[in-house]
Amino acid sequence: MLEPSHNDELPPIPGKRYFTIGEVSELCAVKPHVLRYWEQEFPQLNPVKRRGNRRYYQRQDVLMIRQIRALLYDQGFTIGGARQRLSGDEAKEDTTQYKQLIRQMIAELEDVLHVLRK
């Protein structure tokens, strides 16, 4: 679960369909080698691999990485504890994340609408 104060420290997620590992690294403040390690540890992380095994993450992957980061770095969970938290009974939908995502999408759509009206 992401804390509201933590969300302010991370940049907003752009309205793209796919993100490279470098982009995700910047968006989540996690180094690329850590992201690759987390892919092995968390079955929820499964980026699309194309052209020479290049990883392409989607928006839900970025949100999941931010949630994993919050569990490990902010809340002090171990890898095993975070994995259990995400896959167990406590893995309920995080409405805060979805509200943030919806607000971002509305803002992006309003920007597009503003450009179209010009």
Task: Give the integer Cα–Cα distance in Å for 11 and 23.
Answer: 11
The CATH class of the 4-117 domain is mainly alpha
Domain ranges of the chain: 4-117
In a structure prediction context, what are the per-residue pLDDT tens digits for the chain, which is 118 residues long?
443 334 458 889 998 999 999 999 999 999 999 999 999 999 989 899 988 889 999 999 999 999 999 999 999 999 999 998 888 755 555 566 677 788 888 989 999 999 999 8
Q: Residue 19 gets which letter from DSSP?
A: B
Task: Give the integer Cα–Cα distance in Å for 44 and 118.
Answer: 42
Is the whole model's pTM more than 0.85, yes or no? no
**Looking at residue 96, what is its pLDDT?**
66
Q: Residue 50 gets which letter from DSSP?
A: E
User: Are the CB atoms for 86 and 44 separated by under 8 Å?
Assistant: yes
Task: Give the integer Cα–Cα distance in Å for 69 and 82.
Answer: 9
Q: Beta-carbon neighbour count of residue 98 at 10 Å?
A: 11
Q: Is the Cα torsion angle 45, 49, 55, 60 positive or negative in sign? A: negative
User: Are the CB atoms for 75 and 65 separated by under 8 Å?
Assistant: no
